[in-house]
A and B are shown apart, each in its own frame.
Chain A
Amino acid sequence: MLILFMLIAISLIVALVFLVLFIINVRSGQYDDMYTPSVRILFDSHLNNSDDNGNEKHSNEIK
């Protein structure tokens, strides 16, 4: 049943990769602000000037 131990090892490696990523993120300040990112995604660009129903005509189509 060596594969059992290999799978555990592979899983641990994957987990370790994520752990390192997590630590890097915390230390680089990714998680310093736990609120504004959730609000920021709600704002669409002003160029894409459609309202919530997308019914306003706009001219950002290039082509």
Chain B
Amino acid sequence: MEMKNTLMRSSDSGTGSGAGLSNLGGSPPLEKFFYDNKIVRDFGIASVSWGIISLLVGVLIAVQLFMPEANLGLPFTTFGRLRALHTNGAIFAFVGNLMFMGVYYSLQRLCKTRMYSDKLSRIHFWGWQLIIASAVLTLPFGFTTSKEYAELEWPIDIMIALIWVVFAINFFGTLLTRRTKHLYVAIWFYVATIVTVAVLHIVNSMEIPVSFLKSYSMYAGVQDALVQWWYGHNAVAFFLTTPFLGLMYYFLPKAANRPVFSYRLSIIHFWSLIFLYIWAGPHHLLYTALPDWAQSLGTTFSIMLIAPSWGGMINGLLTLRGAWDQVRTNPVLKFMVVSITCYGMATFEGPMHSLKFVNALSHYTDWIPAHVHIGTLGWNGFMSFAILYWLIPRIYNTKLHSTKLANLHFWIGTLGMVFWTVSMYISGIMQGLMLQDFTADGILKYGNFLETTTQVLPMYMLRALGGLLYLSGMVIMAYNLFKTVKSGVLIANEADEAPARTKDYSEEKHLTGYLRHRIIERKPMLLLVVAALTILIGGIVEFIPVFTIQSNIPTIASVKPYTPLELEGRNIYMREGCYNCHSQMIRPFRSETERYGEYSKAGEFVYDHPFLWGSKRTGPDLQRIGGKYPNAWHYRHMFNPRLTSPGSIMPNYKWLSTNDLDISDTRASITAMRRLGVPYPAGYEDRALEDLKQQAVAISDNLKKDNIKVADTKEIVALIAYLQRMGTDIKGNKTDNK
């Protein structure tokens, strides 16, 4: 013990140049302090609990994809609404809480100090749980912005921003009061996470409120899509990747009890990773209406990303050199090895998907969820489990209850992951190829989209099985950790001691060094960072609306704003999450224009606040659905999709024909849209409800001709209005629907 301590101290003083000199007279006095383990434990409990819930939701919606009646006939438990709950839960509740657990544990130890403020820690914890609880209380009820991984409505967005600032103050406060000089590489990954997530969240959440839980994105169409995927991809980068690399750099060496393979490599790949990641976003929009050069930019950066990503993977795996015997017996290392391998696979696959010719096949198919789940189930999930198994016994001063159960969890989880991803690889590539297939006569071989869906249903069943296995593993872990906790006592405040950070270089170094030290490393630094961020945020908030609204000038004269009824129909389309399974973006391929109609143009979306392009085609594209079928077809199809399309896996939306359309916000919606630059004439909001009624009556009358009696006040009428409008603005140019 004594030797360890001496070594620690001598190496500590060796880091700062010349610091050793002042120590010659004897060791500086040690200061005693206590680590806060309670906050670590709390985030851990939250992570496991929310994790099980969000994976349970995941399994439920996976089952619905081959058995639509598993939605229990209720709107709140239907795929379109629950999918957002599943993704938000997995990302922000499961992975998010775990990230905070790991950061709070490692940061205190790396800085040799307690967290800056216990009060801020508690506010951060409860604030974050409140945000998640709000997600549970809004998403199933259809309150959504429809932007993927940013579905939460504006009051919750504000709450997220505030809590994030609390976390940032607590984090940077801890850095400033640290006792060590050197900032270990993990801390840098955390810094990148905190700074970048703040910027991303604010830019993407720019929206104009219509009512307490309803808002419209400030951006429209192509611009909205670009901002969304700039955010979406960087959410993957800075919420799911950088913090976890930081955690890997702390917990992997700790678990294997050996230093990271190359500290130099970790520094190099950190800085290159954060410089490259931020512009990879447009690879989510290849072959869409986004300008070509922006697409190429995204592809270029995505390919370059292989290098720093694999730097991290290689560094992680090689850390275990000479320790592979431990991997055979230690479940913590087993989880970590699979996790890092998954990271390597996903970060190779990502750049491959960013190649246009691969993307042409893979985009909109199940290949993408397969890729994403390698990342979340493998990289994030398994790393989380490893950290939990390592950390919980430590803060409870006990041993893991059962290594056997942990091993069982490992195998059942791995098997689940294999089922999940392999089935989706097969389904994605198969369906992608089928949808492109032409006969020798040049006709689409599978002209009906449904023919390809029914082919992949067995794969959907395998996926649900995979998810169930993975979830079972998590339940086993929860039991194991519970028993572990019961067998120990929480060391709520763990004692440690370290000398105060030496401030000696201010005396030795020349004036600039002194000033730098004074300005950068003391409290003013916090002020500086906060001030810079405030200015940046203020600037963004000021300028973005002005610029984007000005540049939303229609480039196609025939494109007109939505009528009030269509606008309300569009709200219902968003509420039910239709965009989760149906895209509104036809790519310029013959296989797509033959199937769906004229490819999508940027100018068609200028009034789309938000854009609804979607990212996955579980069902066909809807961009040119308008006018393709009679109103009665839509009515029957929404009532029970199997009436018009036998074998369809779409749920019944019977409630749309009984629910009354809520028109209390129509006026406000029109006003909000006008503020966003949609050219409704002045005072139109006063006439909007008349127009709405008129159009609704016309649709209702039309339905009567087909013996469908539905009041013009029902939601289905608005949705039909929207569906019939979609993509018709430029339809005069070319129609090739059969």
Contact = CB atoms under 8 A, between A and B. Distances in A.
Interface in B277-323: 278-279, 291, 294
A18 B494 CA distance: 34
Contacts of B2: 46
Nearest to B199: A14
13 contacts: A1-B294, A4-B294, A6-B543, A10-B536, A11-B279, A28-B517, A37-B185, A41-B254, A45-B497, A45-B498, A49-B1, A57-B397, A61-B492
Nearest to A55: B399
Given A3-B223, A43-B7, A47-B497, 8 more contacts: A2-B548, A6-B547, A10-B203, A29-B16, A42-B253, A46-B2, A48-B496, A61-B494
Contacts of B536: 10, 13
Contacts of B489: 61
Nearest to B495: A60
A33 B495 contact: no
A47 B715 CA distance: 66
B168 to A, nearest CB: 14
A52 B183 CA distance: 24
A38 B259 contact: yes
A63 B492 contact: yes
Interface string A23-42: 01101111111111111111
A30 to B, nearest CB: 6
Contacts of A27: 516
Given A39-B11, A47-B495, A17 B397 contact: no
Contact of A22 (B14, B109, B271): B271
A43 B5 CA distance: 8
A60 B33 CA distance: 11
Contact of A18 (B14, B264, B274): B274
Given A3-B226, A47-B496, A34 B267 contact: yes
B257 interface: yes
Nearest to B293: A4
Given A33-B15, A41-B250, A17 B547 contact: no
B226 A61 contact: no
B247 to A, nearest CB: 13
B195 interface: yes
B510 to A, nearest CB: 12
Contacts of A3: 219, 223, 226-227, 544, 547-548, 551
Given A40-B8, A48-B494, A14 B278 contact: yes
B604 to A, nearest CB: 15
Interface of A: 1-4, 6-8, 10-11, 13-15, 17-19, 21-22, 24-25, 27-50, 52-55, 57-58, 60-63
A19 B192 CA distance: 12
B356 interface: no
Of A17, A32, A45, most buried by chain B (CB within 10 Å of CB) is A45
A63 B192 CA distance: 36
B455 interface: no
Contacts of A24: 516, 520
B393 to A, nearest CB: 6
Contact of B182 (A4, A37, A46, A50): A37
A18 B260 CA distance: 24
Contact of B516 (A28, A44, A57): A28
A7 B230 contact: yes
Nearest to A7: B230
B219 A38 contact: no
B17 A18 contact: no
B340 interface: no
A53 B664 CA distance: 62
A47 B31 CA distance: 12
Contacts of B260: 38
Nearest to A31: B267
A47 B266 CA distance: 30
Nearest to B546: A2
Interface string B494-510: 11111000000000000
A60 B491 contact: yes
B526 to A, nearest CB: 14
A7 B12 CA distance: 41
A62 B493 contact: yes
Contacts of A21: 191
Contact of B278 (A11, A35, A43): A11
A1 B291 contact: yes
Contacts of A11: 230, 278-279
Contacts of B195: 14, 17-18
